[in-house]
Structure 1
Amino acid sequence: MSTPSSLFSLEGRSAFVTGAGQGLGAAIARGLAAAGARVMLTDIDEHGVEGMAACLRDAGHEAIAMPLDVRDEADFWLCFDAAVQRFAGVDVMVNNAARTPSTSLWDIGAEEWDDVLAINLRGSFFGCRIAGRHMRERGAGRIVNLGSIAGQQASAATGVHYAASKAGVIALTRAFAQELAPHGVTVNAVAPAAVRSPMLEAMDEARQRTLAAGIPLGRFGEPDEVAAAVVYLASPAAAFVTGATLDLNGGRLMR
């Protein structure tokens, strides 16, 4: 019989995280490593992701890093294959890489629209399909996609292209969950609301207070709280959860 602690352990597992050079991705990589996973960190910022991997290694974890542009499927395959070779397989895929502009819908140009969708949605599609094929062959695996409350509820705080991409991520999650369930692979999403980040903290205090006032719990989320949700979905404790979107929004959207 599994003990409560073993249900949340990722000992012996390996994980692949996109957008892991800073912010939520870095917190998720730390959380997975703390749970016992070996982690491949990827990010378009080569310097940042190498620094994060070095921090994890300094803390006693097994971590490697590679630069990755998730818009490029060939680049994605190259990085994923490197993780497979290093860890003899990938057990957990976290599609986190995203661009989060807040441009008014009246001012979004075609190039910006296409780039946001390419990073946030096409990149997640590549990650799901590449990891899904690998995990399908192995007969097990966990895929966790980063959605957002923006994909569930209209908000002036984020651009409509960002919202559309995150709504697409939720639909993508359900499609891959249905396809991969017979092969022992679960696919889920987490949907955070306002979480502390450099972008949030760059706002003036009055704007921050206004945003926090709209959250029933009266505060912003913390990156480590999002990481904990990802660790849960990646763990044996969530073996019967697939096609789900886990809301992390302090009560802003109750359903």
Structure 2
Amino acid sequence: MFNSLQGRSAVVTGGSKGIGKGIAATFAAAGVDVVITGRNQADVDAAVAELSGKSGTVTGVAADVTSPEDCRRVVATAVERHGALDIVCANAGIFPSGRIEDLTPEDIEEVIGVNFKGTVYIVQAALSALTDSGHGRIVVTSSITGPFTGYPGWSHYGASKAAQLGFIRTAAMELAPKNITINAVLPGNIITEGLVDMGQEYMDQMTAAVPAGRLGTVADIGNAALFFATDEAGYITGQSLVVDGGQILPESQAAIAEQ
């Protein structure tokens, strides 16, 4: 149904853990050569070892997406290793909790810096290479939290995720003449190390809120990102795809009970 992505080149920021590692695994299984990033070299090395043996290669580089210089270095590394860069998955993100009255300027800047500015910086760094590709693809990992839902303690996180969607809409118009598309995947509650760390009670509550009756997997997000990277998705840009098992749909908990 879809043309092969075998031999394409991708960068996945925040690819050493969680959703990013799942995206990298999905792309590598499809034959894409992937460079993953993470702030901790040991985490990057562990993820590369775990993702070895797939159709596409997976290598890593330690980098901080809040640094434009680091973002340029990541792109240069991908081009050097693969000869080109076709796909950028702007996935790096953090989600510390903090009530509004307790948020410090540093708390706010940290979340906006990684989640929003980091997205902009990696896109900026990759523009030349993606233009040269002739079929550049950018996939942003946003969230249902912010654009659609709210959760106490995540006001700054939600704002950063909504900001990403505002960015992609105008970016889509600016990048279209360069044959570059930019779209976003909006995960619901996905089973990752971070979600598990929030405890079983939280996971049970979230599962109960999902009409599909389960939490999502990193492969669910990886498959959505892979679709946006295909040639067949070339006429889709500036759009967002919710992947949440129907979590944002019910009017109330009672609506799920009526299924």
TM-score range, shorter chain: over 0.9
The residue that corresponds to 1:219 in the other structure is 214
User: C-alpha separation between the residues in 2 aligned to 1:83 and 1:29?
Assistant: 14
User: C-alpha separation between the residues in 1 aligned to 2:109 and 2:247?
Assistant: 29
> Which one of 241, 248, 252 corresponds to residue 247 of structure 2?
252
Structure 1 residues 60 and 163, CA gap change in structure 2 (3 angstroms): same
How much does 1:59 deviate?
Answer: 4.1
User: C-alpha separation between the residues in 1 aligned to 2:142 and 2:93?
Assistant: 10
User: C-alpha separation between the residues in 2 aligned to 1:36 and 1:130?
Assistant: 24
The residue that corresponds to 2:67 in the other structure is 72
User: C-alpha separation between the residues in 2 aligned to 1:33 and 1:157?
Assistant: 36
Alignment pair present for 1:104 and 2:99: yes
The residue that corresponds to 1:205 in the other structure is 200
Alignment pair present for 1:51 and 2:62: no
User: What is the identity, as a one-letter code, of the residue corresponding to 1:34?
Assistant: A
User: C-alpha separation between the residues in 2 aligned to 1:37 and 1:17?
Assistant: 11
How much does 1:154 deviate?
Answer: 3.6
User: C-alpha separation between the residues in 2 aligned to 1:158 and 1:144?
Assistant: 26
How much does 1:139 deviate?
Answer: 2.9
Contact 2:26 2:223 in 1 (8 A): yes
Unaligned runs of 5+ in 1: none
User: What is the identity, as a one-letter code, of the residue corresponding to 1:126?
Assistant: Y
Structure 2 length normalisation: TM-score?
0.91
Task: Kindly provide the CA deviation profile for residues 74-126 of structure 1, in whole angstroms up to 9, marking residues without a partner as x.
Answer: 11111211111111110000000011112112211110110110000000001
Following superposition of structure 1 onto structure 2, how do residues 75-224 of structure 1 map, counting pairs within 5 Å? 75-156=70-151, 159-224=154-219
How much does 1:137 deviate?
Answer: 3.9
Structure 1 residues 216 and 158, CA gap change in structure 2 (3 angstroms): farther
How much does 1:253 deviate?
Answer: 2.3
Unaligned runs of 5+ in 2: 251-259
User: C-alpha separation between the residues in 2 aligned to 1:133 and 1:168?
Assistant: 24
User: C-alpha separation between the residues in 1 aligned to 2:202 and 2:80?
Assistant: 47
Contact 1:100 1:158 in 2 (8 A): no
Identity %: 32
User: C-alpha separation between the residues in 1 aligned to 2:55 and 2:147?
Assistant: 39
User: C-alpha separation between the residues in 2 aligned to 1:27 and 1:231?
Assistant: 11
SS of the residue corresponding to residue 51 of structure 2 reads helix
> Which one of 31, 37, 47 corresponds to residue 42 of structure 1?
37
Contact 1:144 1:187 in 2 (8 A): yes
SS of the residue corresponding to residue 42 of structure 1 reads strand
Structure 1 residues 166 and 182, CA gap change in structure 2 (3 angstroms): same
The residue that corresponds to 1:28 in the other structure is 23
SS of the residue corresponding to residue 151 of structure 1 reads coil
Contact 2:135 2:180 in 1 (8 A): yes
How much does 1:157 deviate?
Answer: 5.2
Contact 1:43 1:68 in 2 (8 A): yes
How many residues are matched? Answer: 250
User: C-alpha separation between the residues in 2 aligned to 1:135 and 1:65?
Assistant: 19
Aligned-residue Cα RMSD (Å) equals 1.7
